[in-house]
Amino acid sequence: MTAETRYASSPAEVMSWNTAQTRKELLIEQLFVQDEIKLVYSHYDRFVTGGIFPVTKPLQLTAPDQFKAAYFLERRELGIINVGGAGVVTVDGETFEIGFKEALYVGKGKKEVSFSSKDSAAPAKFYLNSTPAHHEYPSRHVTRKDAEVVTLGAMETSNHRTINKLLVSTVLPTCQLQMGMTELKPGSVWNTMPAHTHDRRMEVYFYFEVPQGQSVCHFWGQPQETRHIWMQNEQAVISPPWSVHSGAGTSNYTFIWGMAGENLDYGDMDVCAIPDLK
């Protein structure tokens, strides 16, 4: 297992960043390595982003040095969405079979969490987010049928999309973690438009189902000082709480959003009018 640390930055500081510095600080270029666990620990809300790719053997999730904890979930909660083949997550002896685009919530206090694929020829890819937790909530498998589903946008504005709210307060109790998945319809390329900020929480986007040879341009920064990051398939990007987070692809795609902070109200956002963006 590897665990990298990323530090928080102010809007004034990022004004001096060039492309290389921006990518170093915010972009997570590779999450899935065969038979490995890769984690990125951000100082924004102590948010952890990770990829677990068990192909030939099960992988056990342990606490990285950054936690100073006896086990991963000693003071944390965990959200998992499978973006690969059928997989199995075992939590303190309880087994959950997690299919493609299904989620699992694991609450604070669980000591042993392991990951495996049902078929090494079609291995699971477990994308995870984790945040500090103050209360123990039960583990729960959330399927597509369990999700709160909303369709937004239109073909005329190139942002017709389906939002699958998987790990949110209207589906199950969590301490501060929220996760979901947005699928763009064919012919649409914009996500989260109009863009918004929410100083009450930070966010991480994970882009996948980006066709080969295509890319997504992710926009970030303050509404009047936006920047961009070109992203490829199965890459993630950290969005500071003071930053917009939106993207446009050269084709349609899917992305997972994960949030953490002091407010569990999904609708808590400060919308930026499209003509006001600079």
Annotated binding-site residues for Zn(2+) read 196, 198, 203, 245
Cα 30 to Cα 208: distance, rounded to the nearest angstrom: 12
Tokens of 181: 């998945």
Cis peptide before 194 (omega within 30 of 0): yes
The beta strand positions in 83-215, using DSSP E, are 87-91, 94-98, 103-106, 113-117, 126-132, 140-142, 148-152, 161-167, 178-184, 190-191, 196-197, 201-208
**Residue ranges of the binding site:** 196, 198, 203, 245
In 3D, which of 157, 184, 276, 159 has the Cα closest to residue 226? 276
Spatial separation of the C-alpha atoms in residues 70 and 131, rounded to whole Å: 16
Q: CB-hemisphere CA count at 13 Å for 105? A: 29
Residue 125's closest CA among 66, 251, 209?
209
Beta-bridge partner residues of 31: none
**Phi-psi sector, 212: left (phi>0), alpha (psi -120 to 50), beta:** beta
Q: Provide the token pair at 31.
A: 């999450």
Q: What is the CA radius of gyration of the chain?
A: 18
